[in-house]
Amino acid sequence: MQFELIAKTFQGLEEVLAEELTNLGANDVQIGRRMVSFSGDKEMMYRANFCLRTAIRILKPIKHFNAKDADEVYNQIKKINWEEYLDADKTFAVDAVVFSEEFRHSKFVAYKVKDAIVDYFKDLNGKRPSVRINKPDVLLNIHIAQNKCTLSLDSSGESLHRRGYRQEAVEAPLNEVLAAGMILMTGWHGQCDLIDPMCGSGTIPIEAALIARNIAPGVFRKEFAFERWKDFDQEMFDNIYNDDSQEREFDHKIFGYDNNPQAHEIAINNVKAAGLSKEIILKLQPFQQFEKPKEKSVIVMNPPYGERISTRDLLGLYQMIGERLKHAFTDQDAWILSYREECFDQIGLKPSRKIPLFNGSLECEFRKYQIFGGKYKDFKKEKAY
């Protein structure tokens, strides 16, 4: 049986996620804002959680309704046949996301939803399910945009970016979902070497290796919320979990460099935990020493933005990035995520693409640089023939 599903993501990754869903075999794939809606059966819902690299969570809507105020929300929620989803001896939690003039406080909306569910069961048999914030049996999501409300079951639980391979992280690590999205945007899926010259705790190299080998990111996860649902099909999920027929060989290498010994150690541990030591070569090396790779390569990097570096050093760093790329990376492509225009200016190269992306609350850009030997004009001339 097919039903409606929603995959949430970060702003800027919607198209990549839609493509992932299409490749997975989802139906009715439609791009929204920070989300992609689609339809599928129970197996598709399990697969979406297990296989998607750029989704944060997968929601299963159970009711759409309009409401002018909190009392209407309460009444609509209380009409749902809750025994289908919950038992009185189970725990639940409600997460509310509100964009509305009428409803100022998402917490208040969450309380109203909780009250309606508890009252439903009290009226039914005098027993009431309890609310539990941490690892509830059923996690609900209410989304209100002006007066349009959608109540969904959250099939993921903990955000899907928490893959499970990260042993520890450097300060402000790159989110795994964003890292995977960046790599997929470059069009790279293992056809040559990939280099991250400032790899921190190793997120870009690890996500790249998972893409190259086509290993599902869900394989490291301890659990998904749907495993606690009343209708959970263990055998179906085991089949998905144990099916490695899609995995493939990877004939190239992924290089991760960093000049911070602590980050280097952390990256080594994370790569080991992910079981990808064969694919990824890590080196303690500053970018000043970057030399032209022997094989064709693509660079994907997320240099510091200056939240923790003084501006003078920061501009010098980006100048050095541009200088190294021009000298040691000719005839290759480099993709750089950053957020200050003055940093990009220091690179001194003309980007061939600029993609807006959010890193947390920072409005960044992911820029593609095609590094040419000689002059850009000559390159254009050659291209013309």
Whether 167 is covered by a domain: the verdict is: no
- Which pLDDT score is estimated for 309? 62
Does residue 380 surpass a pLDDT of 60?
A: no
The answer, yes or no, to whether residue 310 has pLDDT greater than 70, is no
- Give a yes or no: residue 164 inside a domain: no
- On whether both 363 and 255 belong to a single domain, the answer is yes
- Tell me if 163 is assigned to some domain: no
Task: For residues 251 and 121, state if they share a domain.
Answer: no
Query: Considering the domain boundaries, does residue 233 fall inside one?
Result: yes
**pLDDT at residue 293 tops 50:** yes
Q: What is the CATH number of the domain that holds 353?
A: 3.40.50.150
- What are the angstrom distances between the C-alpha of 129 and each of 80, 85, 122, 246, 336? 15, 12, 9, 41, 49
For residue 274, the enclosing domain spans 176-215+224-384
Q: Clarify whether residues 211 and 292 are in a common domain.
A: yes
In a domain? residue 251:
yes
State what percent of residues in the chain have pLDDT above 70: 95
Can you tell me the mean pLDDT for 5-15?
A: 97
- Note whether residue 170 is domain-resident: no
377 with 281, same domain?
A: yes
In which band, very low, low, confident or very high, does the pLDDT at 166 lie, cut at 50, 70 and 90? confident
Cα dihedral: 73, 78, 80, 86 (round 10): 120
206 and 115, same domain (yes or no): no
Residue 169 lies in a domain: no
**Judgement on whether residues 132 and 186 belong to the same structural domain of the protein:** no
**Residues 134 and 21 grouped into a single domain:** yes
Is 318 found in the same domain as 261?
yes
Distances (CA, A) of 156 to 7, 47, 252, 265, 266: 10, 11, 33, 31, 27
Report the pLDDT averaged over residues 172-181. 91
pLDDT at res. 86: 92
CA distances from 106 to 63, 102, 149, 219, 335 (A): 18, 11, 12, 33, 38
pLDDT value of residue 373: 77
Q: Which of 122, 154, 186 is the last residue of a domain?
A: 154
Query: Is residue 385's pLDDT more than 50?
Result: no
Question: Tell me, what's the pLDDT at 269?
Answer: 95
The predicted model gives 150-165 an average pLDDT of 94
Average pLDDT over residues 52-65: 97
Query: Of residues 36 and 339, which shows the higher confidence score?
Result: 36
> Is 171 part of any domain?
no
Of 154, 186, 206, the position where a domain reaches its end is: 154
| Domain co-membership, 260 together with 113 | no
Residue 317 has pLDDT above 50, yes or no: yes
Domain count, the chain: 2
Q: What was the pLDDT predicted at 340?
A: 83
| Phi, then psi, of 154 in degrees rounded to 5 | -90, 110
User: What's 107's domain CATH number?
Assistant: 3.30.2130.30
Q: Are residues 136 and 211 in the same domain?
A: no
Confidence check: pLDDT of 384 > 60: no
**318-368 tens-digit pLDDT:** 999 999 999 999 999 999 999 888 899 999 999 999 999 999 888 999 999
pLDDT at 378: 53
- Alpha carbon distances (Å) from 324 to 197, 272, 350: 11, 30, 15
Residues 149 and 245 in one domain: no
Confidence of residue 307 (pLDDT cuts 50, 70, 90): low
Model-level pTM? 0.92
Q: Are residues 208 and 69 in the same domain?
A: no
